[in-house]
Amino acid sequence: MRKLLYIMLIVLATTNSYAQGCSDAGICSIGNNFSASGKVLKNNVEFSVIFGKGEGDVSYFSNYISYTRKINDKISWSSKVTFSSASGSFGKRSAFGDAFLIGKYTFAAKDNKQWSILLGSKIPFTTSNLKINGFSLPLDYQSSLGTFDLLLATNFKYKKWDFNSAIQIPVFNNNKNSYFEEFSGTDDFLSTNLFERKSDALFRATYSINTKNQKFTFKPNVLFIYHLSEDSFENIYGKRENIIGSEGLTINGNLISTPVGCN
């Protein structure tokens, strides 16, 4: 690697990544790989550690490693692999989650304004049916939702502002989760047996602030996620049920800091 940027992203006050509206690392982080450091390099490797709190007493580390390559001034692509570890009353479960492949086309900048478009896919490594000791686990403990997704996004950059809009569409559902609230011994989690996820739409506004010594970039941002319709699951009678309240808007606030080093 001629130029390799190694970044550890520490996300503070991060989103509740498994909450309503934010299905996983997909739509919530789309576009980050292309612009996290603020520097434009031909090859870029990132390793991210995100700590979050889920439903009930679940806490998790959601990590990813990604590689981004800039082909030329207009075209770049990024691949990413996620890994997560969740802990709580059910125990601890860690596994690889999803692989992402995203391509980006950037239009020429004009008057400090620049548009780009992204097209990508998400491929799950699991069927969202990880178990502990033979017990089925709720989605908070699953490293992936088990869906093959299409990701479409646009980005508009104006001076220090970044605006993203995106949509994540599950095109093939391979979710085989078998968690039933009835058999679990807790009512902290809803049943998600054979869960079916619906699409998400996202809008994010980010403002970049560089420290005076140029060693850190802070990116406060606000994220609006609209879950376009209600998710569903199959109940103990084999009948499909909608999850009431799973449709709707979620608003998240994030602060991303990026200490940057080169080797």
Partner 1 sequence: MKKLLLLPILFLLCSCEEQGELTKDRFNVTPATQDASLKYHGIFVPTSGISVTGEARIYLENNQYKVQLEGFSISEGPDLKVYLSKAATPSDFVSLGNLTSATVYTIPQGINILDYSYVLIHCQEYNHLFAVSKLIQN
Question: Binding residues for partner 1, how many (CB under 8 A)?
Answer: 43
At residue 205, what is the residue type? A
Per CB under 8 A, contacts with partner 1 among 177-236 are 178, 180, 182-186, 193-194, 236
Strand residue runs (E) in the chain = 4-12, 43-53, 59-70, 75-88, 91-106, 113-124, 131-132, 135-136, 147-158, 161-173, 200-207, 209-210, 216-227, 232-234, 240-242, 248-262
Per CB under 8 A, contacts with partner 1 among 51-90 are 63, 65, 81, 83, 85, 87-90
Nearer to partner 1, 1 or 255 (CB): 1
Instruction: Name the segment binding partner 1 (CB under 8 A); options: 29-37, 94-102, 110-118, 150-158.
Output: 94-102
Q: Which of 3, 4, 40, 117 binds partner 1 (CB under 8 A)?
A: 4
Whether 204 and 164 have beta carbons less than 8 Å apart is answered as yes
Distance CA 145, CA 162 (A): 28
Q: Which of 99, 123, 130, 205 binds partner 1 (CB under 8 A)?
A: 130
Give whole-number Cα distances, 241 to 19, 141, 163, 175, in Å. 19, 21, 36, 15
Instruction: Name the segment binding partner 1 (CB under 8 A); options: 72-80, 124-132, 218-226, 241-249.
Output: 124-132
Nearest approach, Cβ of residue 255 and partner 1 (Å) = 24
Distance CA 192, CA 222 (A): 29
Nearest approach, Cβ of residue 55 and partner 1 (Å) = 13
Residue 238 in contact with partner 1, rule: CB under 8 A: yes
Nearest approach, Cβ of residue 142 and partner 1 (Å) = 12
Residues 6+ apart with CB under 8 A from 131: 137
Count CB neighbours of 117 within 10 A: 13
Nearer to partner 1, 85 or 121 (CB): 85
Instruction: Name the segment binding partner 1 (CB under 8 A); options: 113-121, 134-142, 150-158, 210-218.
Output: 134-142
Nearer to partner 1, 184 or 246 (CB): 184
Distance CA 29, CA 42 (A): 21
3-state secondary structure of 27: helix
Nearer to partner 1, 194 or 225 (CB): 194
Nearer to partner 1, 108 or 134 (CB): 134
Give whole-number Cα distances, 219 to 204, 212, 254, in Å. 12, 15, 8
Binding site for partner 1 (CB under 8 A): 1, 4, 6, 45, 47, 63, 65, 81, 83, 85, 87-96, 127, 129-136, 176, 178, 180, 182-186, 193-194, 236-238, 263
